[in-house]
Amino acid sequence: MFIIQTYGVAVLFCIVTMLCWGSWANTQKLAAGSWRFELFYWDYVLGIVLLALLSAFTLGSVGEGGRSFLADVAQADWTNLGLAMWGGVLFNAANILLVAAISIAGMSVAFPVGIGLALVIGVVVNYLNAPVGSAGLLFGGIALIVVAILLNAAAYRKAASGMTNTSTKGLLLSVVAGFLMGLFYGYVAQSMFPIFERPEPGKLSPYTAVVFFALGILASNFVFNSLLMRRPFEGTPVSYADYFGGSSRNHLTGILGGMIWCLGMLFSILASDKAGPAISYGLGQGATVIAALWGIYIWREFRQAPKGVNSLLNGMLLCYIVGLALLIVAR
């Protein structure tokens, strides 16, 4: 299987993860005019499963390093398969709430609050499991990211007083999503053998872990999203008939969004071998900056905001960037 050999390449992979995780939500924005997010989300999940399987049978099955996908599945311990799938269940619960928050409050609110909180929790949890890197620099970066979250929340409250299209519901959903999102990565990391060049009996390769993570998302989606279709956070209930009545463009947009996100997940997992899970996850969640830039400057979600909001948003972005820089040099 393909394995990263150096820390520099691992950082590059984390940057690709950041771009993927910060940009996939644009596909939801593109489809939002005629397509409810509950329906979009089915195709998004299918895109995650398709990319996971594609990578497993290509990059995960070539070369002499590690262990090929089918051979890895054949020897895998059920406990580790369950850990990877449980990571998918936790991620799906968090991500559905995040997607709902995006549809209500926009990318420039949902990502900095939800994913920023997930970054803080995820880095702490993953560092405790595998303490790789300078704790001082790592947690200094985390402190700046906490400040960025508070600045974004302040901007949201200030904007809500002068705008009619915002809701505190979106902010609350982002917070709950962030708590759940910060936990999933650790379970996936625990299911894998820590040094990818040295396969361990019963443990999973990164490609196998991502496939069973994706299957956990798919299985849980029949519960989570079916419930949400019946009792949506906003709007009227939707049915499976509505899903099958969607256009090819709507379906392909959702699948593309899922494939973009899963590519970021795969690259993050591959980078964790050389960078460590805490740094790999933390850098990937720099997606918050990318998503905020999309939301603020491209989709212009704060264009009606009162004076002073832009200063808070610029301060938020600056704290995020400096905090992420500290995560990079922490190794």
Lowest mean pLDDT segment, chosen from 79-83, 212-216, 292-296: 292-296
DSSP label of 66? S
What are the residues whose beta carbons fall under 8 Å from the beta carbon of 120, sequence distance 6 or more? 142, 145, 146, 149, 182
Average pLDDT estimate for 221-225: 95
Res. 165 pLDDT band, cuts 50 70 90: very low
**Which pLDDT tens digit goes with each residue over 98-110?**
878 877 777 667 7
Helices (H) and strands (E) in the chain — how many of each?
Answer: 15, 0
Residues 6+ away with beta carbon under 8 Å from 20? 260, 261, 263, 264, 267, 287
Report the range of poorest mean pLDDT among 13-17, 196-200, 285-289. 285-289
- Asked if residue 258 is part of any domain, the answer here is yes
Q: Which domain holds residue 323?
A: 14-329
308 Cβ neighbours under 8 A, 6+ residues apart = 158
| 103 vs 77: which has the higher pLDDT | 77
- pLDDT mean over 155-172: 65
* Confidence check: pLDDT of 293 > 70: yes
Looking at per-residue pLDDT, the higher value among 287 and 317 belongs to: 317
Percent above pLDDT 90 for the chain: 43
Residue 42 domain flag:
yes
Confidence of residue 162 (pLDDT cuts 50, 70, 90): low
Q: Which two three-digit tokens encode residue 114?
A: 């939800």
270 in any annotated domain: yes
Scan for tokens 């704060």, then name that residue.
302
Q: How far is CA 267 from CA 203, 206, 331, in A?
A: 19, 10, 18
Q: How many domains does the chain have?
A: 1
- Phi-psi sector, 192: left (phi>0), alpha (psi -120 to 50), beta: beta
Average pLDDT over residues 157-184: 74
81 lies in a domain? yes
Mean pLDDT in the chain?
Answer: 86
Q: Look at residue 138 and tell me whether its pLDDT is greater than 80.
A: yes
3-state class of 192 per DSSP? strand
User: Residues 6 or more apart from 4 whose CB is under 8 A from it?
Assistant: 10, 13, 196, 270, 271, 273, 274
User: Would 8 be classed as within a structural domain?
Assistant: no
Provide the pLDDT for residue 164.
45
The string of pLDDT tens digits covering residues 105-126 is 776 677 677 877 887 888 888 8
Beta carbons within 10 angstroms of residue 233's beta carbon? 17
For residue 322, being part of any structural domain is answered with yes
5: in domain: no
Domain assignment present for residue 4? The answer is no
Gap between the terminal Cα atoms of the chain: 25
Rounded to an integer, what distance in angstroms lies between the CA atom of residue 145 and that of residue 187? 23
- pLDDT exceeds 60 at position 163: no
